[in-house]
Structure 1
Amino acid sequence: MFDLSGHAALVTGAGQNAGAGIARALAARGAAVAVNDLVAERAEAVAKEITAVGGTALAVPFDVTDRDAVREAVARARDGLGRSVDIMVHNAGIAADFGQGHFRTLEPSRWRAPIEINLFGAMNCVSAVVDDMCETGWGRIVQISSGAARTGSDQGLSLYGAGKSGVEGFMRHLSQELAPSGVTVNTLALGLQTNAAGAATEVFAQKIPTRRLGRPEDVGAAVVYLASPEASWLTGQILNLNGGSVTS
């Protein structure tokens, strides 16, 4: 069950935190993994970690907002892994300028980056892999989102939330278009993760029913299921992975 042997995955933003957990988990189930990160050294470190334990991985650093760079990297991944990408996990979502702050205090020059990386980044990556998926009749697209897409807060996350809300809408429609071709499209909305840990987040953690923050391993396990052959009848869904902090 959940055997991904013979499949190739591209995981964006996989040089650290949840993205690295996703890459490790997919590789552990047999997928060959193209490890992306904006910072080449981070992508290379995770790829080496995977290969050191017997997995197959290739570092493919690029900026998801650069369409040409995405397409070139996908071609490199196809050549390096020996097969086309049929599992695409768009995890990159934190721009260099996160755009955090109350909206009325933010200059318009800061509006674009969170939208570009989340929405246009996803579009660039989907565009680069979807034709191969449809032609082979099998594919998995997994979008990593956040509870900030659907729950408002006063923590200065309006731009981030807008980007995540936009990409969730894109994925809903994409799932309907691609379902007849054997390609599923699902979104995993994360709650507070360990990479955000600090004094304030530890206080928030105690309000989560499970009494802890999310870990990279939690995210990786959920993505393995969504990417698996066993999840062929699950598409167009947004699944909350948040320790029970928000129920649906």
Structure 2
Amino acid sequence: MFDLSGRTALVTGAGQNAGAGIARALAAQGAAVAVNDLVPERAEAVSKEITSAGGRAVPVVFDVTDLEAVREGVGQARTEFGRHLDILVHNAGIPADFGQGPFRTLAPDRWRAPVEINLFGAMNCVSAVAGDMCEAGWGRIVQISSGAARTGSAAGISLYGAAKSGVEGFIRHLSQEFAPFGVTANSLALGLQSNVAGDSTEEFARRIPTRRLGTPEDVGAAVVYLASPEASWMTGQTLNLNGGSVTS
């Protein structure tokens, strides 16, 4: 079950944290993984970790907000693997300027970055892989989202939440367009993760019913299901992965 042998995957933002966990999990199930990151050293380190464990991976360094760079990176992965990409996991979502703060204090030149990486980044990546998937009659698109897409917060993350809301809507519409071609499209909305910075980690964990933060392994396991043959009837959905902090 959940066997991905012979499949190829691209995971964006896979050089650390949840993205690295996703790449490792897909590789462990047999997929060849193109490990994307904006920082070459991070992509190379995760790729090496996977290959050292007996998996197959290659680093592909590009900025998801640059369509031509995305196309070149996808072409590189296709050449390395000798076939098109079957699985896309768009995980990259945190720009250098996160745009955090009360909206009324944010200058307009800070509004674009979260939208560019989350929404236009997803569009760029889907554009580069969807044609091959539809032609082949099989494909999996998994968008990593956040509870911030549907739950308001006073934490100064309105730009990030708006971007995630937008990309979830994009994925829902894609699911309807691609379903006749055997291609599914789903979002995975994450709760607080173990890479949260600062000394308040334990405080955050106490607010979660499971009394712990999410881990890269938790995220990787959920993505493996969504990317698997067994998930062929799961499309157009947003699944919450948050330790019960928000229920639906």
TM-score over 0.5 for the pair: yes
Amino acid at match of 1:50: I
Q: 2:230 aligns to what?
A: 230
The reply on whether 1:199 has 2:199 as its aligned counterpart is: yes
Structure 1: gaps (5+ residues): none
Once the two structures are superposed, the pairs formed by residues 17-28 of structure 1 within 5 Å of their partners are 17-28=17-28
Q: Deviations over 1:210-229 (max 9, x none)?
A: 00000000000000000000
Amino acid at match of 1:205: A
Amino acid at match of 1:180: P
Whole-angstrom distance in 1 between the partners of 2:6 and 2:136: 13
Once the two structures are superposed, the pairs formed by residues 99-178 of structure 1 within 5 Å of their partners are 99-178=99-178
The residue matched to 2:140 in structure 1 has which SS?
strand
Percent of residue pairs bearing the same amino acid type: 80
Q: Deviations over 1:187-246 (max 9, x none)?
A: 000000011143223212101000000000000000000000000000000000000000
Whole-angstrom distance in 1 between the partners of 2:67 and 2:41: 21
Q: Deviations over 1:132-169 (max 9, x none)?
A: 00000000000000000000000000000011000000
Whole-angstrom distance in 2 between the partners of 1:196 and 1:27: 25
Q: 1:76 aligns to what?
A: 76
Return the TM-score normalized by structure 1.
0.99
Whole-angstrom distance in 2 between the partners of 1:207 and 1:131: 43
Q: 1:39 aligns to what?
A: 39
Whole-angstrom distance in 2 between the partners of 1:59 and 1:235: 29
Q: 1:209 aligns to what?
A: 209
Amino acid at match of 1:33: V
| CA root-mean-square deviation | 0.6
- Report the number of matched residues: 248
Once the two structures are superposed, the pairs formed by residues 182-197 of structure 1 within 5 Å of their partners are 182-197=182-197
The residue matched to 1:141 in structure 2 has which SS?
strand
Whole-angstrom distance in 2 between the partners of 1:197 and 1:100: 14
The alpha carbon displacement at 1:108 in A equals: 0.4
Q: 2:86 aligns to what?
A: 86
The residue matched to 2:141 in structure 1 has which SS?
strand
